[in-house]
Structure 1
């Protein structure tokens, strides 16, 4: 069981399935960033991302969604990920796939960046593994002005 995590382009039903199943740390992060709900964050990700990808299990249900949203700067894309605990069923496959998708995102955006809640250790480890650098601590735009790390990765030339 859990051997078949695959990736495909996201669909609206992925939002419906994944929203109530988000990891508590992911939900806490998006609320701290000022998003009103898991549904809204995932809907925005699906709508605003140039590419939005779902990690799906054998039943084709989304266990995570991630993507890259354009910024006001043509070179810069904002990368994001929200997932459920089911992502752990095949961590190695997920990590390999996410590395490939980051390279794909870099084809359009030489710089990938965003901010991450300092309490979200799973995201911090994932970003570090993907080669992102943590630049500085900033206050989140959401309630509490919690400490977030700004991070970035520049495409290998």
Structure 2
């Protein structure tokens, strides 16, 4: 089994919203989102890069890149179904490749992750992100993470 990538569609965002991994659902709720369909559609719509991850022709995740707070920072995001746990090596490999693609658009990419989303935290560390601080948002704790383009 190998995860395949393709361009994501708005329909993918709607489909994934109905089968999110519990940890991802908890993170969106901690951010204050109550309409998960709307949240994922909005994330897709503001992204200038978005890929669907499929396993055996089943949608298991979406990863995207949107403009951050300024022209030097991209906001990277990913959400998945429970099936992502079946292929952790593929998820980390594709996350690493996607991060490098994103660093071709911005000198730094990052975001924040819910402190209870242990699986995403582990994957982000394996991909090479640096956790720079703990934030309190909406009365919940998050870690801000970043990866900076290496110039040789």
- Could you tell me the TM-score, scaled by structure 1's length? 0.90
> Contact 1:65/1:82 (CA < 8 Å) preserved in 2?
yes
Shift of 1:97: 1.5
User: Which residue of structure 1 aligns with residue 140 of structure 2?
Assistant: 146
Shift of 1:72: 3.4
User: Which residue of structure 2 aligns with residue 72 of structure 1?
Assistant: 69
Q: Secondary structure at the match of 1:107?
A: coil
Larger relative strand fraction: 2
> Contact 1:135/1:150 (CA < 8 Å) preserved in 2?
yes
Q: Determine the C-alpha separation between the residues in 1 that align with 2:39 and 2:150.
A: 30
User: Which residue of structure 2 aligns with residue 19 of structure 1?
Assistant: 17
User: Which residue of structure 1 aligns with residue 121 of structure 2?
Assistant: 124
> What is the 5 A alignment of 1:24-39?
24-39=22-37
Gaps of 5+ in 2: none
> Contact 2:14/2:41 (CA < 8 Å) preserved in 1?
no
Q: Do residues 156 (structure 1) and 129 (structure 2) align?
A: no
Gaps of 5+ in 1: none
Q: Secondary structure at the match of 2:77?
A: strand
- Could you tell me the TM-score, scaled by structure 2's length? 0.93
